[in-house]
Structure 1
């Protein structure tokens, strides 16, 4: 059995990758923090490991011990990271520096896997083609305008400059599905007959269901691709209201009061939420980074290389994905 390490295994995306890796008969090592919930990691055959990505010396010891006992990892799917922080400097610390430290030690200790699959984000490109609304393509120059996007871009650039390093970078757009909590807040709002949208200019949105990210991860392993980067979406473009309308349909809500929030008001609210989050020491879903993401008008991206090179076929469009997601929320008592 080949070893696969999935960092961030307790997270939304990571937990689904763990499930598929077990189905495929791999020896799965779930990289989790000691404080992480294992609510979705109950499988008996699962191995757990806690790496200290903040401490180079300790991480080196942990990797060496694993090399002595298990021989190393055949595949690594690096999902570990943060999407919201109390302090913006934490984006760099976790998404960039921890990734760099991990990868550099893998090279130093001669533990480079067959493939290192890095889960990045479409946000590394920032708000480009805002006037033409043309899809973002891999030849475009990244222009991230968020601390989150910049930290992810720096991690990507480090992987790309390492000689012969077998990276694969996956850049998903908005990810939703069971276990996800940010889009869940929209469902809670719709249930209360309220729907909020941002700005008055046209907004083209793209989404990807979590199981289609899993499909892409294992297609890269199956095809053995290396030193490639791909965008991930379901291949369709949606209006700013489509997601909320589908939620409304699945919840059988007869009417919804739709409120458009001017960007200036949202900006003030976001900054206030970030300020109070800093005082309380708890991260806020609404912050200056989130404001810039919500402000962005063009989220189209070109998935043609993924389709042509790997045979990727999205199994879930937004209608099918929202239906399954809301059914899960109901079953689990979230709604």
Structure 2
């Protein structure tokens, strides 16, 4: 029986992946930071049959211990965007943490590491759709360090002794996700004006499809050394995405389109004031980028080489997500 380690197991993607692997008959261990061991999610993971190992990505010895005896390491954990967090914190997790995972996997005898990067390393897609060979254009320290971590992992695989597969997920959503809640809630309350023309592309990937893509990255022999964009069946314009969500919510979207530049300037001002104080800005430029940067991707390589076949199209995925939000009292 295959054994796997999943890092970031208390997060949305890592938790779903761990349970997905268990359902496929894989023995799963999850790496959890010591300060998170008392969280309710950890008890739920244990109930699902997931073994819990205590350790932080900055602790090379703890990571190596967690890697002992597993065949595949799914490295999902990362530090995301957080107000006031110094660049060194991103580098400690998103770069040095990758090095600890690679070293631990090699020492523990793992066959393969699936490293979770992000489609964000491509930044704005000027010539959609982008494939894995599209130019890199990271737009902030998070994307910069994710690209650096990806490159470190790839180089380790090329050095031999360990198979490394790079996965770049796109626009992850579904039951359990809270990142898109503000958008869904705004549309439901008819308080979600679109900035700009709304004709930029957006590409969403339902969590169950993504987890199966990760599993294929871990198990398909020919994937060794490969890089794969894992995205949903299709991308669409922001206007169409808003219309689809509104239709499932049974509301009319706002017909209002507002200019981008006042919000970009306001975001810059909020960041200048709030970030040094380590206060989350009420508005920041990255949020404005949502309305101005296209994200549209070609998943042909994953379809062809992995057999990746995302099955949950936007209307169904949106419907399931809304149902979960409502069940949690969030909408």
TM normalised by structure 2 equals: 0.88
Report what 1:138 is aligned to.
Answer: 132
Cα separation, partners in 2 of 1:262 and 1:93, compared to 1, 3 Å: farther
Q: d(CA) in 1 for partners of 2:81 and 2:64?
A: 32
Q: Check whether the contact 2:6–2:74 (CA below 8 A) recurs between aligned residues.
A: yes
Cα separation, partners in 2 of 1:9 and 1:251, compared to 1, 3 Å: same
Structure 1 residues not aligned, in runs of 5+: none
Shift of residue 75, structure 1, vs aligned partner: 1.0
Shift of residue 277, structure 1, vs aligned partner: 4.2
Q: Check whether the contact 1:78–1:118 (CA below 8 A) recurs between aligned residues.
A: yes
Q: d(CA) in 2 for partners of 1:14 and 1:287?
A: 27
TM normalised by structure 1 equals: 0.87
1:151 counterpart (129, 145, 154): 145
Q: d(CA) in 1 for partners of 2:272 and 2:120?
A: 23
1:238 counterpart (230, 236, 239): 236
Q: Check whether the contact 1:28–1:47 (CA below 8 A) recurs between aligned residues.
A: yes
Q: How many residues align?
A: 321
Q: Check whether the contact 2:63–2:101 (CA below 8 A) recurs between aligned residues.
A: no
Q: Check whether the contact 1:10–1:38 (CA below 8 A) recurs between aligned residues.
A: no
Q: Check whether the contact 2:203–2:232 (CA below 8 A) recurs between aligned residues.
A: yes
Is 1:247 aligned to residue 245 of structure 2?
Answer: yes
Is 1:229 aligned to residue 255 of structure 2?
Answer: no
96-105 vs 159-168, greater mean Cα deviation:
96-105
Report what 2:174 is aligned to.
Answer: 177
Shift of residue 20, structure 1, vs aligned partner: 0.9
Q: d(CA) in 2 for partners of 1:64 and 1:190?
A: 45
Q: Check whether the contact 1:247–1:322 (CA below 8 A) recurs between aligned residues.
A: yes
Q: Check whether the contact 1:193–1:256 (CA below 8 A) recurs between aligned residues.
A: yes
Q: Check whether the contact 1:9–1:31 (CA below 8 A) recurs between aligned residues.
A: yes
Cα separation, partners in 2 of 1:42 and 1:111, compared to 1, 3 Å: closer
Shift of residue 44, structure 1, vs aligned partner: 5.1
Is 1:334 aligned to residue 330 of structure 2?
Answer: yes
- CA deviations on 1:293-319 (whole Å, 9 max, x unpaired) are 5431x3121111111111111111111
Structure 2 residues not aligned, in runs of 5+: none
Q: d(CA) in 1 for partners of 2:118 and 2:104?
A: 24
Detail structure 1 runs of 4+ shifted over 6 Å in the superposition.
Answer: none
Cα separation, partners in 2 of 1:216 and 1:148, compared to 1, 3 Å: same
